[in-house]
Amino acid sequence: MTVADPSQAVARAQVGAGDLFFGFLKVGISGFGGVMPFARRMLVEERGWLSEREFTEVLSLSQFLPGPNIINVSIIVGKRFRGPLGALIASVGLMLMPFLIVLAIAALYGRFATLDAVRGGTAAVSSAATGLIIAMGLKMARPLAGSAWPLLIAALGFIALGLLRVPLLWALLVLAPLSVAIAWRTRR
């Protein structure tokens, strides 16, 4: 990723610190409950900083690594164009407005939580957002349905974390190596 690639969509020198900051600032305020589709639009379609294939690679790396995926994308892209400072600027640009907005909403909520309409509305938003997460999990499960073991691993994860409330670290220490080992044994 640090090697100059002639197929890279845009020359490195063309993307300055300000571009990184404002590019990711806009991504940060574009979506609700996840902004990855907007990151793709900005990086690939609007600014042409990454080709489609480069974006897929950056995305798969950021999903593989721990941490909020979109922040990992900003770190990788910022680093690619402007090194450590670029990574910092891109990630701060991404987080700045959402952070301030969510605190403003939290403060407003604290002020008006005594109103029935506010409490009722917030509770219902929470219920709907829960539905969105369940739908996301089921969508992610679809591509796994080809063979039995991924569904079994997913079911074990669900039971351990959701029903038994096992600490995440223990669950991961068992499930992740087990699942990777099966994936390794069944590799094509």
- Alpha-carbon span 138 to 52, nearest angstrom: 26
Question: For the chain, what's the residue count?
Answer: 188
- Alpha-carbon span 44 to 3, nearest angstrom: 20
With 0-12 / 13-18 / 19 or more C-beta atoms within 10 angstroms meaning exposed / middle / buried, residue 188 is: exposed
Q: How near is the Cβ of 49 to other proteins at its closest, in Å?
A: 15
Q: Which of 68, 85, 111, 112 binds other proteins (CB under 8 A)?
A: 68
CB nearer to other proteins: pick between 44 and 77: 77
Cα torsion angle, 72, 76, 81, 83, sign:
positive
The verdict on 11 binding other proteins (CB under 8 A) reads no
Sole window of 6-14, 15-23, 44-52, 117-125 interacting with other proteins (rule: CB under 8 A): 117-125
The verdict on 2 binding other proteins (CB under 8 A) reads yes
The verdict on 6 binding other proteins (CB under 8 A) reads no
Residues numbered 84 to 103 that lie near other proteins (CB under 8 A) are: 84, 87, 91, 94-95, 97-99, 101-103
CB nearer to other proteins: pick between 14 and 63: 63
- Alpha-carbon span 104 to 100, nearest angstrom: 6
CB nearer to other proteins: pick between 40 and 79: 79
Q: At what angle do helices 69-112 and 17-28 cross, to 10 degrees?
A: 50
Q: Which of 19, 33, 44, 114 binds other proteins (CB under 8 A)?
A: 33
